[in-house]
């Protein structure tokens, strides 16, 4: 809100209190119109709600706040008194919107498509989400597919029925990829590359290009939606509910303050808020676990918990957990199936043990701005022949990079002093590639090392 009010981007403050004070000062002298779209009361705690409303109480006379929500209680929690129900769309406008998302390009068949499309639209209960999803499935299909859709018993004027029909039209591997998304918290901001890498690590798709094709399919049918103008995506609440229903116990999100126990047969687990007691009493007993994804990046995982995780959960393919300052336990080498390893804690220094080089199936390693000490693995890290992505790692400096022939992305590589001038220009890229040998390397960021190596 402060960025919009001041027209400044990337506003940063050391504390929420300072941010709140600054917003109050800016709103005192302005009339504003604030839109809170699709507000869910259950996604906001009482404390967060108070903090949201506090700076808005100083508004200049004439300021307005518009809230859209599917729940009357959510609007009243924000102080709304006169609730205005949203009317249904006009039938003709709804049909036009449906055909817009279907994007008929063959003019010779457009009249027949429009006739059938209007009948399909009549069975969707005038739900905009249903229109986008069903129309996305019809896009580019032959007229016979449209006729079968028109006669489908699954479309019965309910949004949920339309979403279920759309899910049934997906190919099996695309269904798997979509269902996996139910592991993330509601409205979690997804990144395309990260999601595709997770799918490949789990074996849902065997190639990254196929993963991107799956993402495009889900995006075209509104199973996944862009979030703002940036590189983030999200899943609509109803789509998230659909994915969770299909996934059953395979995917589970442990949310902050949750009292439900984690299913014993869960395969993919996301922990929104790290809790030592829950981790030790429940998570470490999940023998079928394939994914552990801790989205609480500010959490601190004790070294004993790290060790127990590596000792007890041997079938893991994906591990994203908070890091800590010190050496990763040697048990890391026992995760024979590990494909994806990511840990966080900005500014810490982490030492990789020599057993790290036994992760022969590892495809992606990310350390989110951590400084990584490679002294124990410098000579043998080239054994990781399947490693393709080294992302957001500070201090990546080793001699055997020429043997890492599978690398596609290498972030923050430290060039040695004697080579910096020779390879500082992108015009010498072919010379660099000939020296370092990775034909598949697509992305590299080089940084000058400040002290001359011995």
Cβ-defined contacts of 221-224 (< 8 Å, 24+): 221/132, 221/133, 221/136, 221/137, 221/166, 221/170, 222/129, 222/132, 222/133, 222/136, 223/133, 223/166, 223/167, 223/178, 224/181, 224/190
Q: CATH number of 172-244: 1.10.10.10, 3.40.47.10, 2.10.260.10, 3.40.50.1980?
A: 1.10.10.10
User: Tell me: the pLDDT tens digits for 160-202?
Assistant: 999 999 999 999 999 999 999 999 998 889 999 999 999 999 9
* Residue 372 pLDDT exceeds 70: yes
Q: In this structure, are residues 266 and 250 in contact, taking their beta carbons and an 8 Å threshold?
A: yes
Q: In this structure, are residues 203 and 341 in contact, taking their beta carbons and an 8 Å threshold?
A: no
* Residue 203 pLDDT exceeds 60: yes
Which segment of 212-216, 275-279, 329-333, 408-412 scores lowest on mean pLDDT? 408-412
| Distance between CA atoms of residues 369 and 346, nearest Å | 5
Q: Where exactly are the structural domains of the chain?
A: 2-77, 92-168, 172-244, 249-394
* Residue 378 pLDDT exceeds 80: no
Is the model more confident about 28 or about 99? 99
| pLDDT for res 410 | 76
| pLDDT for res 347 | 60
* Residue 451 pLDDT exceeds 70: no
Query: Tokens in use for 316?
Result: 């893991």
| pLDDT for res 265 | 93
| Distance between CA atoms of residues 177 and 109, nearest Å | 34
Q: In this structure, are residues 352 and 377 in contact, taking their beta carbons and an 8 Å threshold?
A: yes
Is the model more confident about 404 or about 293? 293
- Please give the share of the chain, as a percent, with pLDDT higher than 90: 34
**Of 256, 332, 340, nearest in space to 299 by CA:** 256
User: Tell me: the pLDDT tens digits for 336-360?
Assistant: 999 999 887 656 778 888 899 899 9
Confidence of residue 275 (pLDDT cuts 50, 70, 90): confident
| pLDDT for res 276 | 84
What's the predicted TM-score (pTM) here? 0.78
Which overall architecture, per CATH, does domain 249-394 show?
A: Alpha-Beta Horseshoe (3.80)
| Distance between CA atoms of residues 31 and 33, nearest Å | 7
Query: Tokens in use for 298?
Result: 């500010």
| Distance between CA atoms of residues 143 and 97, nearest Å | 19
Q: Within 13 Å, how many C-alpha atoms sit on residue 166's CB side?
A: 32
């Amino acid at each position: 809100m402060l960025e919009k009010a001041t027209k400044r981007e990337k506003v940063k403050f050391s504390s929420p209190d300072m941010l709140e004070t600054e917003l109050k000062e800016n709103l005192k002298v302005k009339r504003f119109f604030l839109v809170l779209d699709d507000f869910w009361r259950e996604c906001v705690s009482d404390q967060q709600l108070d903090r949201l409303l506090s700076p808005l109480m100083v508004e200049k006379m004439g300021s307005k706040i518009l809230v859209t929500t599917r729940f009357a209680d959510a609007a009243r929690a924000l102080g709304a008194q006169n609730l205005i129900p949203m009317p249904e769309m006009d039938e003709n406008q709804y049909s036009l919107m449906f055909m817009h998302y279907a994007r008929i390009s063959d003019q010779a068949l457009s009249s027949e498509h429009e006739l059938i499309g209007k009948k399909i639209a009549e069975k969707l209960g005038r739900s905009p989400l249903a229109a986008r999803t069903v129309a996305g499935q019809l896009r580019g299909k032959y007229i016979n597919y449209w006729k079968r859709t028109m006669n489908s018993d699954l479309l019965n004027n309910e949004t949920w029925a339309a979403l279920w029909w759309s899910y049934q039209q997906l190919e099996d591997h695309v269904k798997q990829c979509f269902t996996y998304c139910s592991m993330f918290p509601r409205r979690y901001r997804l990144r395309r590359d990260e999601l595709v890498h997770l799918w490949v690590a789990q074996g849902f798709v065997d190639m990254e290009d196929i993963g991107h094709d799956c993402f495009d399919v889900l995006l075209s049918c509104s199973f996944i939606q862009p979030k703002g103008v940036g590189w983030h995506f999200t899943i609509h609440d109803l789509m998230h509910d659909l994915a969770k229903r299909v996934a059953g116990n395979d995917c589970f999100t442990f949310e902050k303050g949750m009292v439900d126990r984690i299913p014993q047969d869960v395969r993919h687990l996301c922990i929104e808020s790290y809790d030592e007691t829950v981790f030790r009493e429940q998570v470490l007993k999940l023998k079928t676990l394939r994914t552990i994804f801790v989205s609480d990046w500010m959490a601190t995982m004790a070294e004993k918990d790290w060790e127990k995780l590596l000792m007890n959960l041997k079938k893991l393919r994906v591990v994203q957990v908070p890091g800590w300052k010190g050496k990763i336990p040697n048990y890391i080498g026992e995760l024979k199936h590990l494909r994806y390893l990511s840990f966080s804690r900005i500014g810490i220094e982490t030492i990789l043990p020599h057993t790290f080089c036994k992760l022969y199936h590892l495809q992606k390693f990310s350390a989110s701005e951590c400084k990584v000490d490679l002294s124990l693995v410098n000579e043998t890290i080239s054994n990781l022949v399947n490693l393709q992505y080294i992302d957001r790692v500070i201090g990546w400096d080793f001699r055997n990079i020429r043997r890492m022939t599978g690398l596609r992305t290498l972030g923050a590589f430290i060039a040695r002093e004697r080579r910096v001038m020779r390879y500082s220009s992108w015009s010498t890229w072919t010379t660099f590639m000939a020296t370092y040998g990775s034909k598949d390397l697509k992305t590299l960021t080089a940084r000058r090392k400040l002290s001359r190596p011995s």
